[in-house]
Amino acid sequence: MEQKNKNGKDIAILIGCIILLLLGCLAFFSARWYITEFGDTGFDSILYTLFSEMNGTDSAVIMDFMVTALLPALVAFVVLTLLFWAKRGNGDRLYPFTKKRARVLSMVLSLVMLGSAAMTVDLPSYIAYMSQQSTIYQAEYVDPLKAKITFPEEKRNLIYIYLESMENSYMSQEVGGALDHNTMPELTALVQDEENINFSHTDGIGGFYNMTGASWTIGAMVAHTSGIPLKVPIGVDRNEYGQDSFLPGVNSMTNVLADAGYYQTLMVGSDANFGGRKPYFEQHGLNRTFDIFTAREVGIVPPGYFVFWGMEDMHLFDFAKQELTKIAEQEEPFAFTMLTVDTHRTNGYVCKKCIGLWGEQYENVISCSSKQVDDFIRWIKQQDFYENTTIIIAGDHVTMDEGYIERNVADDYERTVYNCFMNTAIDTKYDKNRQFVAADMFPTTLAAIGCEIEGERLGLGTNLFSGKPTLVEEMGLEAFDGELLKTSDYYTKNFFFD
């Protein structure tokens, strides 16, 4: 009986060592893959990805993970398992490890790999911040539905164009970029036009910084429209997050515009459910969503069509023209939001309109996107509704194509996100040498369509037209981000749960 218990204990320890080794291998290679492919987007983005549905993910991303991370992890696991525990036919160990030494070495190596993975994604820093309690929301947050927002007598339409991963690095050094050539001349010309406004971190062309909780698309869209980061509170079950109830306690720009009588739509070229985009907008006052599936239904693309993340931007812009024409015929003012996708990592998607001007595929895709956006803007300007329509073009976040950045952008270059405000209701002299983030786009957008905001703040954002200092300007970016990284019972209680 004693021998039987001993054998059972040995088997349990062996299984535990094998499981720990498998986890170590998976964590080590997965962390390296994530950072290599996406860069340092913050542990919040990793956590959100783990909690989100993966429907609509580009199959190339999944395949890349399987080949670059999963396969090496499994190979390493098999090799190490054989090294520590394999036996010959006669019962002798294949390699000269005693049972005790094999266990110790296996556990040590597993812990080293887990530790390395944690350091790679900066988990210790994340845990250190999460062990602290922030009071930034109690001190600084302004609820949009409790703030006094006055719309102009004649409400202006709004077209908000999110450009996937569009940062100012892609411009030439001569105009404020990081390259020796300009891959986005049309977008550069738009912000150089004196009739348009570019809020900048310099006295030239520039933009806003990535902020904690907004370094990936849905996080950025939440920040742009709600003035807060997107976080996953500790202890929340995966099934509680995203689809059925997406930040139900948050009052966003979509809520504000809905209360003001706007007809609001969102258009993406991928699966709108990916990352929770459709639930977020529809649960906060959006009227209708268009995506790859609705594009198939109306004949923009054939049935079953799917490339990259859904359909190319050239089809998206055709779809946008078609729907905008219909929407503009309605009596109520409209807010039309769209998100491009061709410039998504890695290397972007080459469509039929792309021309090989540059040596890097990603730069050719960026140039193609710049041209298509400009063509779309020219079309809008020819429409009757343009006179009373404000257009905002903004990147969602800086690119996650870490390989491209490492090859082409100097380490000391200050990367910022592109923005351009067109046909705004007001002008400003406070557009240069600003320190700001995506959260500031929320009140600034409402001001651009003529709204007066008492106190000039909504969410954690500041109306940039006003010249009032942003929280980043008051606190510094590092301190501001640090507060967002901390645990906030206020966030969990007031935003995450209704």
Task: Note the pLDDT of residue 74.
Answer: 87
Question: Residue 448 — very low, low, confident or very high, per pLDDT cuts 50/70/90?
Answer: very high
Task: Note the pLDDT of residue 72.
Answer: 82
Question: Residue 240 — very low, low, confident or very high, per pLDDT cuts 50/70/90?
Answer: very low
The mean pLDDT value for 139-145 works out to 94
pLDDT at 418 over 90: yes
Task: Note the pLDDT of residue 106.
Answer: 80
Across 61-75, 105-119, 312-326, 402-416, least confident range = 61-75
pLDDT tens readout for residues 50-108: 555 555 555 566 777 788 788 888 888 888 887 776 665 555 555 556 667 777 878 88
Across 65-79, 193-207, 309-323, 468-482, least confident range = 65-79
Above pLDDT 90, what percent of the chain? 64
Task: Report how far apart, in Å, the C-alpha atoms of 218 and of each of 119, 128, 165, 209, 252 are.
Answer: 25, 25, 12, 16, 14
Task: Note the pLDDT of residue 233.
Answer: 62
The mean pLDDT value for 204-225 works out to 94
Per-chain mean pLDDT for the chain: 88
> What domains are there in the chain, each with its CATH number?
2-130 (no CATH), 143-496 (3.40.720.10)
| Higher per-residue confidence, 257 vs 74 | 257
The model's pTM is 0.84
Determine phi and psi for 149, rounding to 5 degrees. Answer: -120, 120
The mean pLDDT value for 161-175 works out to 97
Across 1-15, 345-359, 476-490, least confident range = 1-15
Rounded Cα–Cα distance for residues 34 and 154 (Å): 48
pLDDT at 129 over 60: yes
Rounded Cα–Cα distance for residues 111 and 88 (Å): 28
Buried b (16+ CB within 10 A) or exposed e, 323-348: bbeebbeeeebbbbbbbbbbbbbbbb
Task: Note the pLDDT of residue 44.
Answer: 62
Rounded Cα–Cα distance for residues 421 and 465 (Å): 11
Residues 6+ apart with CB under 8 A from 161: 337, 338, 340, 373, 376, 391, 392, 393, 394
Above pLDDT 70, what percent of the chain? 86
Task: Report how far apart, in Å, the C-alpha atoms of 275 and of each of 243, 286, 307 are.
Answer: 9, 17, 18
The mean pLDDT value for 403-423 works out to 95
